[in-house]
């Protein structure tokens, strides 16, 4: 039996990450990681969210590098296939798994003590259970989606946030051709929601943020959104939105603060949908009159369906998302800890598309963050 020696960024869940060499035996299947995009959950897990040290990274793209016979048969995939890896490793036996809703399987539900790719302890098996490593251990229960080879590394790295955006904006929010929608919080997921809405043919997409996020509003504009600020003391953003764009069909709140949810609700017209996709929290009282009078639906969302992943891949392959215009900030394994700490302390890179490239060496020049020219 041979084994691979694999470099991995191991995080302790208390704000520290070190690069270690872990061993992956040939008796288990593996993915050669191409990219591991960073989301807000990683920042939380890195600073205070892990029960035990783990390799973070749950928005993983890569190529199948080795498969046991049993896994090849169960997954129906071959070595060499490029895939997006969902973080949900469902049990495969419960009612939710059997219905294809493995994101709700108790064994992956963080609210009931479950765990996912990017937080499974490094002490288990090879320890390689997150994207922030050269290789990721695979099993027959991993949820993998084929990716076309023609997608660039940048484009492919958007697969899972765009899949979340498809689930939240198009499926839960009902946004489609001719819709009017506001996206509150144009961060990593908010910009993906803008891209999904534009690609789905929405007529008006309003990106809303504070003045301190002006650079992210500019990125939203490049994707096709109009933008408004929600901290102008002289103008209530609800009045501005209603007067300029009329009552909206949907609002996707990626922040989930009391004030963003309350203002989102007031922007909606009849049969409007308020999608709550952020968990900033706080005591919230949504105005029942606004809900009842306009027959509004308030929906919570968690992750995404497998169908949303497939639709996101189709959108990326069709080339209409514009996400390639968003600059990517690549981080080597040695930079994972510092970058996640910076993000936790409000010193995030200007672009919200932060991607770990486990093959980038610290001796390589780190790409500087300069927005790519468009047009
Ligand atoms: Zn995430
Ligand atoms: Zn299950």
Whether 362 maps to a domain, the answer reads: no
Whether 319 maps to a domain, the answer reads: no
Confidence band, pLDDT 50/70/90 cuts, at residue 281: confident
Share of the chain above pLDDT 70, in %: 96
Q: Are residues 39 and 12 in the same domain?
A: yes
Q: Are residues 11 and 152 in the same domain?
A: yes
Q: What distance in angstroms lies between residue 86's CA and the mean position of ligand 2's atoms?
A: 14
Confidence band, pLDDT 50/70/90 cuts, at residue 49: confident
Q: Cα 313 vs. chain centroid, distance in angstroms?
A: 14
Whether 366 maps to a domain, the answer reads: no
Q: What distance in angstroms lies between residue 87's CA and the mean position of ligand 1's atoms?
A: 9
Q: What distance in angstroms lies between residue 100's CA and the mean position of ligand 2's atoms?
A: 9
Share of the chain above pLDDT 90, in %: 88
pLDDT recorded at residue 364: 57
pLDDT recorded at residue 372: 36
Q: Are residues 152 and 238 in the same domain?
A: no
Q: Residue 346: left if φ>0, alpha if ψ -120 to 50, beta else—which one?
A: left
Boundary of a domain, candidates 253, 283, 300: 300
**Number of domain units in the chain:** 2
Whether 361 maps to a domain, the answer reads: no
Write out pLDDT tens, residues 229-279: 999 999 999 999 999 999 999 999 999 999 999 999 999 999 999 999 988
Q: What distance in angstroms lies between residue 347's CA and the mean position of ligand 2's atoms?
A: 38
Q: What are phi and psi of 101, to 5 degrees?
A: -105, 55
Burial class (CB in 10 A: 0-12, 13-18, 19+), 44: middle
Q: Are residues 25 and 130 in the same domain?
A: yes
Q: Are residues 190 and 283 in the same domain?
A: yes
Structural domain harbouring 329:
3-158+325-356
DSSP state of 367: P
Write out pLDDT tens, residues 341-358: 999 998 888 899 999 999
Q: What distance in angstroms lies between residue 108's CA and the mean position of ligand 2's atoms?
A: 8
Write out pLDDT tens, residues 204-240: 999 999 999 999 999 999 999 999 999 999 999 999 9
Whether 315 maps to a domain, the answer reads: no
Whether 88 maps to a domain, the answer reads: yes
pLDDT recorded at residue 363: 65
- Measured from the alpha carbon of residue 39, the closest ligand is 1
Q: Residue 205: left if φ>0, alpha if ψ -120 to 50, beta else—which one?
A: beta
Q: What distance in angstroms lies between residue 15's CA and the mean position of ligand 2's atoms?
A: 31
CA distances from 191 to 38, 90, 263, 266, 313 (A): 14, 28, 19, 22, 16
pLDDT recorded at residue 320: 82
Q: What distance in angstroms lies between residue 323's CA and the mean position of ligand 1's atoms?
A: 17
Q: What distance in angstroms lies between residue 140's CA and the mean position of ligand 2's atoms?
A: 13
Write out pLDDT tens, residues 88-99: 999 999 999 999
Q: What distance in angstroms lies between residue 72's CA and the mean position of ligand 1's atoms?
A: 27
Q: What distance in angstroms lies between residue 158's CA and the mean position of ligand 2's atoms?
A: 26
pLDDT recorded at residue 375: 28
Q: Are residues 17 and 120 in the same domain?
A: yes
Q: Are residues 39 and 169 in the same domain?
A: no
> Parallel, antiparallel, or unpaired: how do β-strands 144-146 and 82-85 relate?
antiparallel
- Measured from the alpha carbon of residue 188, the closest ligand is 1
């Amino acid at each position: 039996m041979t084994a691979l020696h694999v470099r991995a960024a191991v995080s302790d869940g208390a704000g520290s990450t070190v690069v270690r060499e872990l061993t992956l035996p040939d008796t288990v299947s593996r993915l050669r990681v191409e990219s591991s995009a960073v989301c807000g959950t990683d920042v939380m897990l890195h600073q205070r969210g892990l029960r035990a040290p783990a390799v973070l990274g749950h928005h993983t793209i890569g190529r199948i590098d080795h498969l046991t016979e049993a896994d090849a048969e169960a997954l129906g995939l071959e070595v060499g296939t490029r895939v997006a890896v969902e973080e949900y490793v469902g049990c495969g036996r419960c009612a939710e798994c059997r219905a294809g809703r493995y994101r709700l399987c108790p064994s992956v539900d963080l609210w009931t003590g479950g765990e996912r790719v990017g937080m499974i302890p490094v002490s288990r098996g090879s320890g390689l259970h997150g994207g922030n490593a050269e290789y990721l251990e695979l099993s027959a229960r991993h949820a993998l989606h084929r990716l076309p080879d023609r997608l660039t590394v940048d484009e492919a790295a958007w697969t899972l946030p765009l899949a979340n955006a498809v689930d939240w904006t198009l499926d839960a929010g009902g946004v489609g051709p001719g819709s009017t929608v506001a996206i509150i919080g144009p961060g990593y997921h908010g910009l993906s929601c803008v891209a999904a809405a534009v690609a789905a043919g929405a007529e008006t997409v309003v990106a809303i943020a504070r003045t301190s996020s002006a650079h992210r509003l500019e990125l939203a504009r490049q994707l096709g959104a109009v933008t408004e600020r929600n901290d102008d003391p002289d103008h209530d953003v609800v009045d501005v939105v209603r007067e300029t764009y009329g009552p909206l069909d949907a609002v996707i709140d990626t922040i989930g603060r009391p004030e963003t949810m309350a203002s989102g609700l007031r922007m909606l017209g009849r049969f409007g949908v308020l999608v709550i996709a952020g968990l900033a929290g706080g005591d919230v009282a949504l105005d029942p009159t606004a809900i009842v009078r306009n027959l509004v639906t308030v929906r919570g969302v968690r992750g995404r369906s497998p169908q949303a992943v497939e639709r996101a891949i189709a959108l990326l392959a069709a080339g209409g998302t514009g996400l390639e215009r968003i600059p990517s900030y690549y981080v080597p394994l040695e930079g994972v800890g510092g970058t996640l700490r910076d993000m936790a302390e409000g010193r995030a890179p200007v672009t919200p598309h932060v991607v770990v490239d486990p093959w980038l060496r610290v001796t390589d020049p780190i790409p500087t963050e300069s927005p790519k020219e468009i047009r």
